[in-house]
Amino acid sequence: MNAIELKEVWKSYIGCPLPVIDNLSLTVSQGEIITLLGPSGYGKTTTLRLIGGFEQPDRGSISLGKRNVTGNGEYVAPEKRNIGMVFQDYALFPHLKVRDNIGIAVPKEEKGNRVEEMLELVSLRGLGGRYPHELSGGQQQRVVLGRALAGKPVVVLLDEPFSNLDSDLRNYMRREVAKIIRKTGTTAIFVTHDLKGAIAVSDRVAVIRDGRLEQVGTPEDIYRHPETEFVATFVGKSNILSGRIGPDHCSVVTDLGVIPCSHTHNLMAGREVKVSVRADSFELDPDGDIEGVILETIYGGNEIEAVFEVKTDRESRELLVHIHPEEQVREGVRLRFHVLPEFVAVIEK
């Protein structure tokens, strides 16, 4: 069963030459966690606001469960859509205690038991009598999530929920929030421009560019098998090469040589294509086919990010490669690599 369905949704604003949301269609299954991922200003939050009813589309329809809430002559107000919201700034009521913040939208006859259930669920038992300013940032986030889940919503919408937290707490709260949402079986849509956040919490990721869906898939699919150059370069770091599908249909022939490729879309041999080769695809190999010189390195703790210059018959080409941090590499060193096919994908057919 689909918890959310958007059909051919458009949204524009006066003074903007192009639509903010451009013919967007998306379905989200019951209990699924999906993240809308993309740069700032590309339509993610607008999509969330359309689902929540805070904006109305110019055309198209939106359904929550089996109920049409927007389009086809229907419009259901936000407070009647049975959604939970987690805002970037939390939006807690400072004059209300934790217990009252969580229970603000729960019917009076259910409030006592339901609030206690939520305090237990979000690990705030014993803190219901405190005010928001008496809590840490992570605890405040738990209050917001408890409030969003207290009304047993059809869907929880989370707009950049971790952006106000420091790095260590952000990583921890990503896992905790996802775990709590999964425990309740609630459908959830996150909005973020943070790749790590999207991968950490999502069943699927929807990459948005200029109000259009570029690609929808599991985090692994999005990373390993990008379908467009935008997805390849926005979701992680990748090298974009031109070439032709090899005669074995499992490789791409480029100026750098024959690149093994696990995702060629079964295209015919000789077809001209572009291919995404992840920086993670390169593995040091004294007998490797790709030889060049390290131009610069950045030590990142879990990897060394290096710019690697390869000379071909036509030109010199700089590639971005990731090297294991235990390797001793420096600028000016000549190295050889081979390419792992699992992180290589044809992106334009």
Instruction: Please say if the pLDDT value at position 226 is more than 60.
Output: yes
Q: Hunting for tokens 């047993």 — which residue is that?
A: 152
Residue 251's beta-bridge partner residues?
Answer: 260
What kind and span of H or E run contains 337? strand 334-339
Give the pLDDT score at 211. 93
Average pLDDT over residues 54-59: 94
Nearest-angstrom CA–CA distance, 45 and 24: 13
Q: Would you say residue 77 has pLDDT above 60?
A: yes
Confidence of residue 349 (pLDDT cuts 50, 70, 90): low
| 241 has pLDDT over 80 | yes
Closest CA to 106 of 150, 143, 153, 155: 150
Mean pLDDT across 169-191? 90
Helical axes 137-150 vs 108-121, angle rounded to 10°: 140
CA atoms within 13 A on the CB side of 57: 28
C-alpha span between 26 and 187 (Å, rounded)? 14
Say if residues 27 and 88 touch (Cβ distance below 8 Å).
no
pLDDT tier at 247 (50, 70, 90 boundaries)?
Answer: very high
In sequence order, what DSSP letters do the residues of 226-275 get, joined into one string? -SSHHHHHHSS-EEEEEEEE-TTSSEEEETTEEEE-SB-TTPPTT-EEEE
Q: Pull the structure tokens for residue 221.
A: 């699919």
Give the pLDDT band of residue 275 (cuts 50, 70, 90): very high
Residue ranges of domains in the chain: 2-224, 237-348
Least confident of 17-31, 184-198, 212-226: 184-198
Confidence category of residue 58, pLDDT binned at 50, 70, 90: very high
pLDDT at res. 229: 94
Mean pLDDT of 58-66: 93
Q: What is the CATH number of domain 2-224?
A: 3.40.50.300
Instruction: Specify burial of residue 72 (Cβ count, 10 A radius: 0-12, 13-18, 19+).
Output: exposed
pLDDT of residue 189: 96
CA atoms within a 13 Å half-sphere pointing along the CA-CB vector of 153: 26
What is the rounded average pLDDT of the residues 183-187? Answer: 93
Please report, for residues 25, 88, 160, 235, 295, the alpha-carbon distance to residue 91 in angstroms, rounded to integers and kept in the order given: 30, 8, 13, 30, 48
Report, as an integer, the average pLDDT of 289-308. 92
Percent above pLDDT 70 for the chain = 99
Query: Cα separation of 272 and 254, whole Å?
Result: 10
Which segment, 9-18, 88-97, 274-283, is predicted with the most confidence on average? Answer: 274-283
